[in-house]
Amino acid sequence: MRGRPRLLLGVDGGQSATLAAVADEGGRILGEGEAGPCNHTRAKGGARKFERALRGSILAAWRKAGLKGDPQFAAACLGFSGGAADKRELARQIVRARKLYVTSDAEIALAGATGGEPGIVVIGGTGSIAYGRNQAGDTARAGGWGYLFGDEGSAFDIVRQALRAVLLSEEGRGKSTSLRGALLESTGAATVDELLHLFYTADWPRDRIAALAPLVDQAAAQGDLVALRILRNAGASLAELALGLRRVLFPSKRHVLITYTGGVFESKDVRRAFARRAPCEPARLPPVQGAVLIARELLQLERQP
């Protein structure tokens, strides 16, 4: 890297997209890039998909920064949904960085959300998880157990609850809801039965199903009480993640910095329900910039005698 400025890389690899940010050694963002999701490396074709998303996002950020040649970095921090264990070695083969740290998306989200201070962040995206760190440096997580056993309050869960409400209404066991028409129109399904079976096909992976969550928000804004209840329950479930971590990490502290990030929190009904249970503030920086902060710390540690 002789003759080249000392550059930092931050990556946020999620279930819906992979974001990369190139920054100077002071942490100033020079360029950002986006590519597809990269969270499942063990699935068929997953490793190739991971490589394509990671390389693509980094190259896009590199070019946006006006840089030429092959991307090289003094320090890089990569945070991935689903953890780092199955991605660490693959990442080392792709990213050229003197200092490379591969971790979870929860850690980089916390770094960005609190600006590096102790606290808790709740992520409500395709999935959901909460992560926290106290003054002693102890860390803990809540949620993040995937769509089969967790992800309460996530975008996928919101759509799952919407479909369930439609099914119950169809069977005469639940209230009528405009979600029926909204889901059928958005998917092109002719009947609720067809819609259900559609969601079980490979054409509708979790991120595509989760992308329908704004339909629930739209229905609630138009006065649909079923949709409103789903959103309020989502906010309450996300708040419970934060409150659980508060009890674990800050048992005797009255004021704890609780933050939130992710597309689910774009819903005002989710935010209100969340804030009613867990006094909070929005994330100060997005996760990808949290990754840049951690990369900058790696560079500063290198300079210490």
pLDDT tens column, 112-166 = 999 888 999 999 988 899 999 999 999 999 998 888 888 999 999 999 999 999 9
| pLDDT at residue 3 tops 50 | no
Q: How far apart are CA 251 and CA 180, in angstroms?
A: 44
DSSP code of residue 265: G
Q: What pLDDT is stored for residue 1 in this prediction?
A: 46
Q: What is the mean pLDDT of the chain?
A: 90
H helices of the chain, in order, are: 46-64, 88-94, 105-114, 146-149, 155-170, 179-187, 192-198, 206-210, 213-221, 225-249, 268-277, 287-303
27 in Cβ contact with 301 (< 8 Å): no
pLDDT band at 17 (very low <50, low <70, confident <90, very high): confident
Write the Ramachandran bin of 188: left for phi over 0, alpha for psi from -120 to 50, otherwise beta: left
Instruction: Give the per-residue pLDDT at 274.
Output: 96
Among 145-154, 176-185, 193-202, 256-265, whose mean pLDDT is lowest? 145-154
Phi/psi zone of residue 82: left (φ > 0), alpha (ψ -120 to 50 degrees), beta? left
Q: Which of 51, 271, 62 is nearest to 153 (CA)?
A: 271
Q: What pLDDT is stored for residue 91 in this prediction?
A: 86
Q: What H or E segment, with its residue span, contains residue 281?
A: strand 281-282
- Residue 239 phi, psi dihedral angles, 5° rounding: -65, -35
Q: At what angle do helices 213-221 and 225-249 cross, to 10 degrees?
A: 120
Q: Does the predicted model carry a pTM greater than 0.85?
A: no
pLDDT at 42: 65
Biggest CA–CA distance in the chain, Å, is 71
**186-244 per-position pLDDT tens digit:** 999 999 999 999 999 989 988 899 999 999 999 999 999 999 999 999 999 999 999 99
Res 303: pLDDT: 57
Q: Is the pLDDT of residue 251 over 80?
A: yes
The pLDDT value given to residue 60: 95
Cross-strand partners of 122: 130, 260
The neighbour count for residue 68, using CB atoms within 10 Å, is 6
Q: How confident is the model at residue 37 (pLDDT cuts 50, 70, 90)?
A: confident
Side chain identity at residue 294, one-letter code: I
pLDDT category at 302 given cuts 50, 70, 90 is: low
Distances, alpha carbon 44 to alpha carbons 40, 47, 48, 54, 238, in Å = 9, 8, 9, 17, 31
> What is the percent of the chain with per-residue pLDDT over 90, rounded to a whole number?
67
